[in-house]
Amino acid sequence: MTARRGAPSWPYPRLAAHRGAGKLVPENTLAALKHGHTLGYRMAEFDVKLSADGVAFLLHDATLQRTTNGRGRADALAWRELAQLDAGSWHSRPFAGEPLPTLGAVASYCRANGVSVNIEIKPTPGRERETGAAVALDASLLWSEASPPPLLSSFSELALGAAQEVVPDLPRAFLCSRLPIDWRERCMALGCVAIDVKHTALRPTIVEEAHALGLAVLAWTVNEAARAKLLAQWGVDTIITDAVDRLRPG
């Protein structure tokens, strides 16, 4: 395992449940978070965007149809309309009627049950800065004085930059599928504490360099035990997985 020269202690668990509980339960729901918790997970990654009236809620896609019985842009409806949608039937009959959760509901559950969170800011296109600022402000209030605090990440540098501006004290991770040539400079400009990289794009030298710069390393989405073991040997700090039933904490 590589040494993390100059890096602060990493307060988050080694494993995080992707979208709450991988693919076993409808993603980005309270049911998913609860299922991950029953399997021993004490960290969850999930996606957050804004409704038409500015309520932060969990959903991955820019549109509603893949994971709810709604259609069209996710930010075209007010929260009172989104709250009526079925976010479970698409997955399987036992979850019929599972609602979309607000970030506030998720915060209540996670704080009560000792679950750390990686909030991926997932703005609907065109609302990057607004979403980044709003989610960061909400997270700072909902997780006030929490330890560890929520980790914010985003593919949108506009969103992450807005989060940095409004709540600079919340930790941020530079999220990407492949590290750009200037990833070091981008991380420094955004005040990031970590890089959050697709696991196939990582190499031991990248992990070592990130640690030398004081950055932790997260890897997604890792679903094979052998790969997870190798990444841990390289020194990856947190592994995000769908395989919550096969990669068990502890």
CA distance 105 to 12: 21
Query: Which is the catalytic residue, given 35, 37, 60, 91?
Result: 60
Q: What angle do CA 44, 22, 103 make, to 5 degrees?
A: 40
Concerning whether 60 is annotated as a catalytic residue, the answer is yes
Query: Which is the catalytic residue, given 18, 35, 91, 211?
Result: 18
Report the b/e string of 80-106 with b at 16+ CB within 10 A. Answer: eebeebbbbbbbeeebeebbbbbbebb
Concerning whether 91 is annotated as a catalytic residue, the answer is no
Contacting residues for 215 by C-beta, under 8 A, at least 6 apart: 7, 187, 192, 193, 194, 195
Per-residue three-class SS string for 188-213:
HHCCCCEEEEEHHHCCHHHHHHHHHC
Residues identified as active-site: 18, 60
